[in-house]
Structure 1
Amino acid sequence: MKILIVALALFFGVWAWKIRIYLKWERKKKENVRPFYRWDESVHREPEQIERRRQASEESFSIQYQDEEKGLARIRGASDPAVYWCNLGMCQCEEFKRTHKPCKHIYKIAIEKRLIERTL
């Protein structure tokens, strides 16, 4: 009987440890994409944002990830020769500096990370 109790305690202890690790990974994954979700969903439905999402879907980009897990990258669009540092919450491009809303570069990274659909 004691062996059964020890075995059950060990079994539940191992499962609790595995669940704790899984939840830690899930929390870390959410933290890495949190910057993109700082904008309300209504922002992404604005006409100029729909156009930016279309550009991100259709335009060719060169992306060099510095930290792929967090989405930090140097990105260049085919229509613009400048290279920008960008992640899911900020970009160095003039469009982002002017509007403080997701630009085509941010949307491209979000598409690559499957946070949004490629087409609307």
Structure 2
Amino acid sequence: MNFVNKSSDIDFKDFIGQKVIEISPVGLELVNIKFDGGSLNVECSWRLRNKSDIVVGITERDGTDFISIIKDNLQHKPITNIYHFKTGDLTLEIQNQYYFDLFADSSAFEHYQLYRGESLFLLGR
């Protein structure tokens, strides 16, 4: 079996260098991230990790303030890269080697919406 998750050819250069300016919860587990010139609405499984550990994820214990944890690590920092895979998974790399991973977890629903300004740039399916 071949489990290679190949990256797509989408050019994310307009997002590189944009700073994360606002992070807000959507319901109990999901999140919306606003950048200088766009936003990311997350409707799928996610995690925040650094280069060696998972910092926080969608299935944390009740009472975990995941929004504060994400803000502490990402807010006011620039996006250094975006990785998109043909399976629909998406990773935002943020300054200081933090990675916000989104996992496509449904064949029936959208996983995320990435906006450049007010215009839809990428729909995770």
Question: What TM-score comes out, normalization by structure 2 length?
Answer: 0.26
Identify the structure with bigger relative contact order (alpha carbons < 8 Å, sequence gap 6+).
Answer: 2
User: Larger helix proportion, structure 1 or 2?
Assistant: 1
Q: Larger Rg: 1 or 2?
A: 1
